[in-house]
């Protein structure tokens, strides 16, 4: 995957390119030896992301058009030239403001360990849409370099500079913690149960026994603390596990069954509405050439 003259110690990565009849296209990278950093460069028109969460951060820049999304109880619009920052574990959606033209954006999805290692903190960002030309230009260039760097040093330098500028200007210390320790513990138990039994047909009765709360209290408290009701968090866990299995080379039908979906078509529909590409296009392909579509 190395061009002549490239740093021979440079990273291993894989890419998925997806184009449909509507003119939508997306390019999805995994940088395997950079804490498995994920990247997306996409143009969407009619595609709409379901309510979902990421285990790490979602950081990007809108290049053309405008994206509308729900986040922390409010609707937001990110126009061209703006920066989007979504904290880990926060529910959000995504769709075009103008469906005839859509939007084009570049996204980076660094995990918590990577961000903490670089910034020496676990930052929280109050505003999901930032209007900062300097930061937007730096993030756009960082994304381009990460997709096709000349050297490892160039990759590291841009990524570190972008994260440091973002956190220095816009990060705050922390979010408020839930009020009641017993509720925190109940939600923690339910979350662990969902993560351990994601392939099973879990019922609300099971979860109330795990939590020690009434059904309505559990659903309300879980959503307040996690950002998703239990059934949507279960879908999030299934999709994340499916991504891991797909990366390992498992067949689609096997992944669908192992992650609790009724069949492959159901799995494909749900996967695309969260990830933005189908499971078949998510499966890793050979090394990309260049940083564009």
Strand partners, 49: 94
Is 256 found in the same domain as 115? Answer: no
My answer on whether 81 and 211 are in the same domain is no
183-192 CB burial, b ≥16 within 10 A, e <16 = beebbeebbe
Q: Quick check: is 186 in a domain?
A: yes
**262: number of Cβ within 10 Å:** 10
Same domain? For 231 and 162 the reply is no
Arithmetic mean of pLDDT, 152-159? 82
* CATH code at position 107: 2.60.120.10
pLDDT tens digits for 244-260? 999 888 999 999 999 99
* Average model confidence (pLDDT) across the chain: 86
Which among 113, 146, 170 is the end of a domain? Answer: 170
User: What letter would DSSP give residue 287?
Assistant: P
Rg (CA), the chain: 19
Q: Tell which of 170, 192, 211 closes a domain.
A: 170
pLDDT per residue as tens digits for the range 77-124: 999 999 999 999 899 999 999 988 999 999 999 998 999 888 888 899
Is residue 291 a part of any domain in this protein? Answer: no
Whether 292 is covered by a domain: the verdict is no
Q: How far apart are CA 211 and CA 202, in angstroms?
A: 14
Do residue 92 and residue 116 come from a single domain? Answer: yes
- The reply to whether 43 and 140 lie within a common domain is yes
Average pLDDT (143-162) is 83
51 and 89 assigned to the same domain: yes
- What is the span of the domain harbouring residue 49? 13-170
Q: Which of 152, 170, 188 is the last residue of a domain?
A: 170
Contacts of 283 (CB under 8 A, 6+ apart): 16, 246
Residues above pLDDT 90, as percent of the chain: 53
Kindly state whether residue 1 falls inside one of the protein's structural domains: no
Residues 6+ apart with CB under 8 A from 242: 255, 256, 259, 267, 271, 279
Q: Are residues 36 and 140 in the same domain?
A: yes
Tens-digit pLDDT profile for residues 53-63: 998 999 999 99
Looking at the structure of the chain, the number of domains it has is 2
Examine the pLDDT at 267 and tell me if it is beyond 60.
yes
Question: Given this model, what pLDDT does residue 217 score?
Answer: 85
Residues 94 and 231: their CA atoms lie apart, in Å, by 20
Q: Which has more pLDDT, 159 or 120?
A: 159
Q: Determine the Cα–Cα distance for residues 229 and 221; give it in Å rounded to an integer.
A: 9
Distinct helix (H) and strand (E) counts, the chain:
10, 12
CATH number at residue 224: 1.10.10.60
Q: Which of 72, 140, 258 is nearest to 279 (CA)?
A: 258
In this structure, is residue 144 part of a structural domain? Answer: yes
Count of all residues that appear for the chain in the document: 293
């Amino acid at each position: 995957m190395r061009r002549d003259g490239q740093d021979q110690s440079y990273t291993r990565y894989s890419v998925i390119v997806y184009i449909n009849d509507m003119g939508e296209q997306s390019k999805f990278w995994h940088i395997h030896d950079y804490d498995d950093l994920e990247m997306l460069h996409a143009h969407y028109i009619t595609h709409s992301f379901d309510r979902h969460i990421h285990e790490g951060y979602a950081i990007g820049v809108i290049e053309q058009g405008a994206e509308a999304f729900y986040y922390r109880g409010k609707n937001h619009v990110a126009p061209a030239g703006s920066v989007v920052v979504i904290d880990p574990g926060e529910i959000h959606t995504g769709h075009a403001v103008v469906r005839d033209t859509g939007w084009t954006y570049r996204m980076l999805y660094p995990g918590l360990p990577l961000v903490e290692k670089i910034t020496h903190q676990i930052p929280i960002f109050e505003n999901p849409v930032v209007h900062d030309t300097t930061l937007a230009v730096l993030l756009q260039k960082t994304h381009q370099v990460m997709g096709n760097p000349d050297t490892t040093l160039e990759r590291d330098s841009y990524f570190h500079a972008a994260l440091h500028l973002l956190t220095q200007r816009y990060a705050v210390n922390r979010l408020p913690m839930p009020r009641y320790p017993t509720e925190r513990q109940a939600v923690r138990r339910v979350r662990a149960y969902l993560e351990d039994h994601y392939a099973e047909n879990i019922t609300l009765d099971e979860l109330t026994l795990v939590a020690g709360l009434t059904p309505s209290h559990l659903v309300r408290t879980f959503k307040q603390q996690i950002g998703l009701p239990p059934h949507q968090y279960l879908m999030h866990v299934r999709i994340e596990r499916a991504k891991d299995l797909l990366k390992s080379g498992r067949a689609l039908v096997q992944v669908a069954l192992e992650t609790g979906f009724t069949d492959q078509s159901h799995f494909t529909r749900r996967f695309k509405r969260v990830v933005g590409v189908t499971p078949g296009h998510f499966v890793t392909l050979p090394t990309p050439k260049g940083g564009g579509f």
